[in-house]
Amino acid sequence: MSRIGKQPISVPAGVKVDLKGQQITVTGTKGNLKRTIVDEIEVVLEDSVIKVNNRVESTKVNAFRGLTRSLINNMVIGVTDGFKRTLVIEGVGYRANINSSTLTLNVGYSNPVEFKLPKEVTASVEGNTKIILESIDKEILGLTASRIRQIRKPEPYKGKGIRYEDERIVRKAGKAGAK
């Protein structure tokens, strides 16, 4: 059983937390985030510490407690430091460009792929093959990175495609290696 839900969340200086019923708003230097909390979960703000408690004891509510604690912690980290996700493009002639909020990917298709970024996510391209995504919302950032990766998944023979920077692609032997 995970005990993450029982751990308190310390709120750093410069971060403001508002609780109105089941709505929590976290405001910091990078922006503000809002989230609605499940009715079975109670969030208590004491001094500069947030505690997440169960209103009803059950395994389902315990799972929601750990989830809620992680989501609130990610909100606090997001408004203070923000989150970053890096994607790497591998392949001959594969490259990326960014124009305002549109990411243009040339990844082996006959036409370039235009990807519209959500307004919460900012992107930059380094050296035509490295896409750096930044956001204060970890959930939207991960979803955006996943959708960009889906455009051209890395294939196991040559490793061509779009992958996460920390992802390792397991290579397969080709036809010659089958002997």
pLDDT at 41: 92
- pTM (predicted TM-score): 0.87
**Residue 17, token pair as written in the block:** 């937390």
> Which of 101, 120, 100 minimizes the C-alpha distance to 32?
120
Rg of the chain over Cα atoms, rounded to whole angstroms, equals 21
Query: pLDDT tens-digit profile of 120-164?
Result: 999 999 998 999 999 999 999 999 999 999 999 999 999 899 999
pLDDT at 174: 82
State whether residue 63 is helix, strand or coil: helix
Residue 33 pLDDT greater than 90, yes or no: yes
pLDDT at 47: 87
Which domains, from first to last, does the chain contain?
4-80 (3.90.930.12), 83-164 (3.90.930.12)
Q: How far apart (Å, rounded) are the C-alpha atoms in residues 134 and 121? A: 6
Report which residue type is found at 89. I
Residue 173 pLDDT greater than 80, yes or no: yes
